[in-house]
Chains A and B, each alone.
Chain A
Amino acid sequence: MTIEERRKERLDRGIKVRTDGIYAIMSLRELSYLTMPRLVLIVGLLILPLVMPSMYWQRVISIVCIYSLLALSFDFLAHFLGLVSLGGAFFIGTGGYIAAIMNTYFGMPPLLTIPIATVVGAGICTLLLLPCLPLRGVYFAIVTLMYPLVLARIIEALNILGGTDGIYGVASFANRWIEQYFVILMVLLFLFGMRRLVNLDIGLVFRAVKDNDQAVRASGMNITFYKAIAVFIASGVGCLGGACLAHIYMWSGISQFALDFSIIPIAATVIGGAGTLVGPVLGCFILVPINELLRAFGTFRILIYSLILVAFIVFRSEGIMVYGQRKYHQFERWVKI
């Protein structure tokens, strides 16, 4: 008696193969296969502020975008370089404080403070993280975990930079439309920008540093240097978020080093699909509104996120976007062995 065994086989869909490379312009159908998801994303994000029922929800969108920037930087570092950043709060805090200082002490408008905070913040963060870059990923995680906690304590103890109260009176954006569209544009810019970056030659070097750093060293490249570049980019994105946040809340303080900023990007990445860069953004769009709704429950929400995060990791769930991309590009069928 023969036992019939089957296995699942995954094949690229016909249309995916047809749209490889220049053949995509063969017909409208192939073109739309490629461009539709991206168009939906872009258009959706752009009309979002217009359809929001109240100012409260418009504010929520801005906050979601800031978390998305953080999640992008987390996903980029974790899955393309193997550096797990357990303290997104570090970037937000640095960017926020620099923007606040530029604005209140030096009187610069948001137009200037945001770029300055991004670049200077990225520089400071990279410098502070430099000692652990030549080492294994664990050390990076430890150091990024520590910095927000310790920096918050230093500020509190020394009572500098506004101490526990923080820096008040930071100017806000000209009006709420600029506020929302600016952060949405930033998210779109960095989302597509990073996707492009990881497929450039330097992006390949980043991925090689993660998978096979000895081979990269044997080719004469200094891995610490490339990790530093990546950290600069990622922390720049985070500091940008922090600077925007300072202008949105018109305030910058210790709670910017809070746990929310550390755990939500991680949870968003794991839920949304790690490695896709779109997944984390999607994850933020799911988690942050829930976060706002649950604010009344105090730190219960962090407990829930942590548990969901653990569940996702333990059950090796791929994440929404990874699943979605797989379904979109491939189909499955049973074949006889």
Chain B
Amino acid sequence: MDILIYGTINSIALAIMAMGFALVYGISRVPNFAHGALYVVCGFVTWSLLRGLGLNYLVSILLAMIITGVIGALIYQFVLIRVRGMAISEIIASYAIGLAILEGFRWWGFKGMTYTLPVFVEGSINIGDIPVDLHRVVIVGICAAVVAFLWLFTHYTRIGLALRGMAQDERAALMLGIDSDLMAVVAMAFGSMLAGLAAVLLLPLGNIVVEAGYNVLILAIAVCIVGGLGSWMGAVIAAFLIGFAQILTVVYWGAHYQMVVALLAIIFTLILKPSGLFGRQKELEERV
């Protein structure tokens, strides 16, 4: 029973980590290797605003998320936009920026285990007879709300529909008057904010460390690959698959194997069904 609960919570956590990456890749076809860095950025900014400036927690969170979104948009506007289309350079550029941010934080002094964020709600409730932190319950609730919001946004607002149009076929979207560059910046901003959201939700459960940046990047990529690059439904389902696999591994083998699960998931997917669960075949190779 506790596997079920912790599995669900872990899966939701993975899903929210992966959504930002999936959004950016789905819309602008740029793999954002700085995703993990943006996650950590939001964490540290929130911490600085909260503890350093003494702002209200909610205000810090919102401000940090906005700042993260802006940073993401700036990254796209000033760096990635110039290398769009050149696959090698895109990868190197976003990886280098991610690295710069993460190592920059490390050098700047954000080392060690002392940086923490408080949980939203103290205490725990009992589901069945398993005690579960209220904070984790809150996470599930917020994620569900976010997913619902995003679904509504991309189906019923102009910008959302434009983003979906770009995800399907960029040239067609251009012909309809959708500014693909602007939409890509918007997508990047949203993706960064989602990374930030994941950070503020998940970091209170532990400490803010720079290594988390790399972990989050790997997990997000693993979820997206297993689910299929460019597919939302796939990412969610993949998150559950990997999430439960991780929890089962922790229970039966040991806690250190969690990342191994992610790695194996990627390898098995690439061997068995490279396009992932719901990915489109054309993502794999050039069209003839």
* Complex contact flag A–B (Cβ < 8 Å): yes
In chain B, positions 75-130 with a C-beta closer than 8 Å to chain A are 78-79, 82-83, 87-89, 91-93, 95-97, 99-100, 103-104, 106-107
Interface flag for A78 (CB, 8 Å): yes
Interface flag for B254 (CB, 8 Å): yes
Interface flag for B257 (CB, 8 Å): yes
Question: Which one of A147, A150, A154, A298 lies within 8 Å of B106 (CB-CB)?
Answer: A298
Once the chains bind, are B274 and A150 in contact (CB under 8 Å)? Answer: no
Residues of A within 8 A of B44 (CB): none
Query: How close is A301's CB to chain B, nearest CB, in angstroms?
Result: 8
Residues of B within 8 A of A214 (CB): 286, 288
Q: How many residues of A contact B (CB 8 A)?
A: 45
Once the chains bind, are A306 and B83 in contact (CB under 8 Å)? Answer: no
State the CA gap A175–B135 with chains docked (Å). Answer: 61
Query: How close is B256's CB to chain A, nearest CB, in angstroms?
Result: 3
State the CA gap A155–B285 with chains docked (Å). Answer: 34
Residues of B within 8 A of A309 (CB): 92-93, 96
Chain B at the A interface: SS class: helix
Interface flag for B245 (CB, 8 Å): no
Interface flag for B251 (CB, 8 Å): no
State the CA gap A300–B118 with chains docked (Å). Answer: 29
Once the chains bind, are B78 and A314 in contact (CB under 8 Å)? Answer: yes
Using known A-B contacts A266-B92, A313-B83, determine if residue A299 contacts B107 with beta carbons closer than 8 Å.
yes
State the CA gap A213–B284 with chains docked (Å). Answer: 13
Question: Which one of B82, B88, B221 lies within 8 Å of A314 (CB-CB)?
Answer: B82
Query: How close is B113's CB to chain A, nearest CB, in angstroms?
Result: 17
Residues of B within 8 A of A139 (CB): 225, 270, 274
Once the chains bind, are A150 and B259 in contact (CB under 8 Å)? Answer: yes
Q: How many residues of B contact A (CB 8 A)?
A: 43
Among B12-20, B149-157, B174-182, B260-268, the one that faces the other chain is: B260-268
State the CA gap A253–B267 with chains docked (Å). Answer: 25
Question: Which one of B93, B107, B256, B274 lies within 8 Å of A313 (CB-CB)?
Answer: B93
Question: Which one of B31, B91, B100, B217 lies within 8 Å of A310 (CB-CB)?
Answer: B100
Residues of A within 8 A of B96 (CB): 263, 266, 306-307, 309-310, 313
Q: Which residue of B lies closest to A297 (CB)?
A: B107
Once the chains bind, are B221 and A142 in contact (CB under 8 Å)? Answer: yes
Once the chains bind, are B106 and A157 in contact (CB under 8 Å)? Answer: no
Residues of B within 8 A of A78 (CB): 88
Interface flag for B218 (CB, 8 Å): yes
State the CA gap A307–B89 with chains docked (Å). Answer: 14
Interface 1/0 per residue, B174-210 and A, CB below 8 Å = 0000000000000000000000000000000000000
Once the chains bind, are A310 and B93 in contact (CB under 8 Å)? Answer: yes
Interface flag for A137 (CB, 8 Å): yes
Query: How close is B186's CB to chain A, nearest CB, in angstroms?
Result: 21
Most B C-beta atoms less than 10 A away, residue of A82, A149, A306, A314: A306
State the CA gap A6–B225 with chains docked (Å). Answer: 51
Once the chains bind, are A131 and B271 in contact (CB under 8 Å)? Answer: yes
Additional A-B contacts beyond A86-B33, A149-B218 (16; CB < 8 A) = A82-B87, A134-B274, A137-B91, A143-B266, A143-B267, A146-B221, A146-B262, A149-B214, A150-B260, A214-B286, A259-B99, A303-B104, A306-B100, A309-B96, A314-B83, A316-B82
Q: What are 24 inter-chain pairs, A to B, with CB distance below 8 A?
A: A78-B88, A79-B88, A84-B91, A136-B284, A139-B225, A139-B274, A141-B31, A142-B31, A143-B267, A146-B218, A149-B218, A150-B218, A153-B260, A154-B256, A266-B92, A270-B92, A302-B100, A306-B96, A310-B97, A313-B79, A313-B96, A314-B82, A314-B93, A316-B82
The 5 closest A-B pairs by CB, nearest first: A157-B256, A306-B100, A131-B270, A302-B103, A299-B103
Point out residues on A near B: beta carbons under 8 Å. 78-79, 82, 84, 86, 131-132, 134-139, 141-143, 145-147, 149-150, 153-154, 156-158, 213-214, 259, 263, 266, 270, 297-300, 302-303, 306-307, 309-310, 313-314, 316
